[in-house]
Structure 1
């Protein structure tokens, strides 16, 4: 969410509206959940103001084996939600409304427990989690694993854009045991418009149980059109303008991730304290698939105090032991045509392994093969098994 020479816009708070029935819109229409249980089916909304599924209960809800399609948010959870989303396929539709982007796959405000696993999301504006209402028990945490996403897209129908991330945590503070792992995110040039693929804004784990952000594959972060010179997105960004150490982004361990072909930046720390990036791979040829150069590339790795916070709020960061090869024809760090680390914003960067030149499209293809081998070796499958509406016409709900 930060161009290394630009400012930031904070995400707006969301509102939850009530609805009138368990089901509305007829068979395969939107679903409103008012009691705990297991729900499956096809849920479609053509109204950008009406989510496909809205959760209005604090009781445990499992949404699984479902097909979701809509021009607004696909899933929206009210405060206090205890929600598991499993094996669901979601597709966003661009609403024909000025200054309106596609909806999120999931929006949750003040959840107590949130788990999203083995889901597929296409042409959405990602997952947005605002604040947290859990009490710190081991069960009351956030887990996002084994998902597949294609084309996070914040473009408007009539031109312009909103800031969209595959995952945005906003003021999710002091939650122990959060894990974001084994997710595959691919954005295609000129078919997507993502800001930071992953952005933690004033969000934190705990010293004993930091956020574990690991083994994710992130490919693609481009302006629109992709050959534009101005862009403020990235692969992974630690962000936020906290008013104290307690309200700042903190206690994050990001490791074994692959970040490929992202403009502006690969992985950066712009705010917070006690954040470490290690054993990641950041690779960028600065080329489109047809060989055209991407002029909005900047640096692979960076640590910079973007908000000029005092040392109580910005300290104890480390970017170390990563593999990096990030092309930028305007720099020679560590060799001509590269900008692996920003020398003016990487004081705590150390012990990187710099890939040998040249960094090409083939180098990026090798990263994809490495990711596929890793999945096979660990016997991990990403995404949903469902790709089209289930046979049943109406949703199934079980207490």
Structure 2
């Protein structure tokens, strides 16, 4: 069902909430005067919220007025402690509303909150109560019909073979879930009763109903062009959209749901002998994605966008949830000047890299793969100009997400005269929970991996490679909060500048969430324990971290929570064996409490910067 996802702030004190909207309707008729009847649609819009519900929160939506042609802007207020706010309105036939009209509700940006997944909830006006269908790529999820006033279900019959045979409708739902039926072949009609001939059949050439999304099957793209629509794949081996061309492909206003990969663009897979200029050339704007729930044995994590071997990438104003995010790895095959990478204004919600329970030896029953919000890796020594990975927003809820590094840059390179920019990103929560890992001679230990932003150069051999390592990257003005590991890291890279980043963590302030994930008592969990580091993570080599800098960083970190010790502060920088020191660090005062209010205030300051720069984050 279409829904809105916002980040909302009340006025004082500040509270954060995720808000979504659902819609429902009823067709009613009443007697105005004896023998004169009036029909109307009663529409109900329910606003829901989760997260912190302790404060009042007012949001504003614009909807169609009862009088056709007008619109009304209505504020709705969640009372403190409540998680639902509703309103209903009647749309009368006498006021100009007709069958086929739609009643729309759109959430509006307001003071103190930002809409990060704009959408529109619509209700179809249908005074005739005609049969309605929900059809997804020729497969029936449910066929729904609503009898007209005074009629009963048994008055209807249906066919799935284009009127060759008819079956009675015995309930309000025709239960055909999972049945493959060609479009147009499912029909419902009013039965012939006595001498009355059967009514005309309503066919399944269109989706009707309240806020129903119609999905097409997987899409394979073999030629350039502009593509839009809704595509879904429930097969882990089949992406929702598969790009198999080096032509320019523009995915605009696309929505994908996927068992594993939303948008796959592995041009090298289809063309093993690639030459210069042969690779993926992709633009994604206003693309929405959702990883489907894990079913059966999933051996690789779900991924929103997965790209290998590329010429030029432009990924902006996208939104995804419940999977790993935007991944682009492999050789850069652009022209070295105008061909580049632009990943900005995207939103990732609940980065989730869990696999199947069947594969797991981990503590909460799920296996993991390393997955990220944004992954840029393995350029094989090629240097990419004018890279922008800026102004992206990530939020991962504890217990609903599972990822490693939030932004991972591994063996990827900008240019000496054009450093790659990883700047002004909002990264909150990482939620890579402890699990049992077998290593070091078969010993089992609790293990946690990953930071908010990591620039690294792992390799198969114990030899540092200046020609292929991560290099020429600026990591500046990012806000990282509540990672349950470190926040910023440089590991075996060169010419990486980390400047003016902020690392804030309240550690175990939310003890109930942290300690009871998956039913596991993690009271000794050493979460949120690092600020930033720069060290030889892979090689014992003096070239490691050459030309790197960590300066003007801000730290406010609670070390961890233990029942015997309470809260401990740990604003640390680890220089490893490089003996490199950070420059001019800043620390929140020791007496300042670092709690949810601290985190929320920092988040609000980030959104204020967004507003000051006239930016739109998420889907436009």
TM-score, length of structure 1 as denominator length: 0.84
Shift of 1:306: 0.8
Match of 1:214 among 393, 417, 423: 423
- Confirm or deny that 1:281 pairs with 2:498: no
Q: 1:392 maps to what in 2?
A: none
SS of the residue 1:77 aligns to: strand
Stretch deviating more after TM superposition (253-262 or 307-316): 307-316
Shift of 1:298: 2.2
SS of the residue 2:237 aligns to: coil
Q: Distance in 2 between matches of 1:205 and 1:350?
A: 23
SS of the residue 1:234 aligns to: coil
Alignment of 1:1-399 (within 5 A): 28-79=216-267, 80-158=279-357, 159-172=366-379, 173-224=382-433, 230-242=447-459, 243-287=464-508, 289=510, 295-329=526-560, 337-345=568-576, 347-357=580-590, 358-385=593-620
Q: Distance in 2 between matches of 1:267 and 1:304?
A: 12
Listed as ranges, the gaps of 5+ residues in structure 1 are: 1-24, 331-335, 386-399
Q: CA RMSD in A?
A: 2.2
Q: Distance in 2 between matches of 1:383 and 1:288?
A: 29
1:111-139 CA distance string (max 9 Å, x none)? 11111100001011112211123234332
Q: Distance in 2 between matches of 1:60 and 1:257?
A: 32
1:10-30 CA distance string (max 9 Å, x none)? xxxxxxxxxxxxxxx666111
Q: Which has the larger radius of gyration?
A: 2
Structure number with the bigger relative contact order (C-alpha 8 A, sep ≥ 6) is: 1
Q: Distance in 1 between matches of 2:574 and 2:328?
A: 33
Contact (CA 8 Å) 2:310, 2:334: kept in 1 or not?
no
1:206-245 CA distance string (max 9 Å, x none)? 110111000100000123369x963112101111225410
Contact (CA 8 Å) 1:222, 1:231: kept in 2 or not?
no
Count, aligned residues = 356
Shift of 1:168: 1.3
Q: Distance in 2 between matches of 1:313 and 1:268?
A: 13
Q: Distance in 2 between matches of 1:131 and 1:102?
A: 19
Q: Distance in 2 between matches of 1:103 and 1:229?
A: 24
SS of the residue 2:507 aligns to: coil
Q: 1:101 to 1:138 in 2, by over 3 A?
A: same
Contact (CA 8 Å) 2:575, 2:581: kept in 1 or not?
no
SS of the residue 2:353 aligns to: coil
Stretch deviating more after TM superposition (96-105 or 263-272): 96-105
Q: 1:246 to 1:71 in 2, by over 3 A?
A: same
Shift of 1:288: 5.0
TM-score, length of structure 2 as denominator length: 0.55
Shift of 1:360: 1.9
Contact (CA 8 Å) 2:334, 2:340: kept in 1 or not?
no
Contact (CA 8 Å) 2:532, 2:574: kept in 1 or not?
no
Contact (CA 8 Å) 1:99, 1:161: kept in 2 or not?
no
SS of the residue 2:548 aligns to: strand
SS of the residue 2:508 aligns to: coil
Contact (CA 8 Å) 1:116, 1:143: kept in 2 or not?
yes
SS of the residue 2:422 aligns to: strand
Contact (CA 8 Å) 2:530, 2:571: kept in 1 or not?
yes
Q: Distance in 2 between matches of 1:247 and 1:102?
A: 27
Shift of 1:96: 1.3
User: Which one has a larger percent strand, Structure 1 or Structure 2?
Assistant: 2
Listed as ranges, the gaps of 5+ residues in structure 2 are: 1-136, 139-214, 268-278, 358-365, 436-444, 516-524, 562-566
Q: Distance in 2 between matches of 1:51 and 1:135?
A: 25
Contact (CA 8 Å) 2:504, 2:555: kept in 1 or not?
yes
Contact (CA 8 Å) 2:236, 2:298: kept in 1 or not?
no
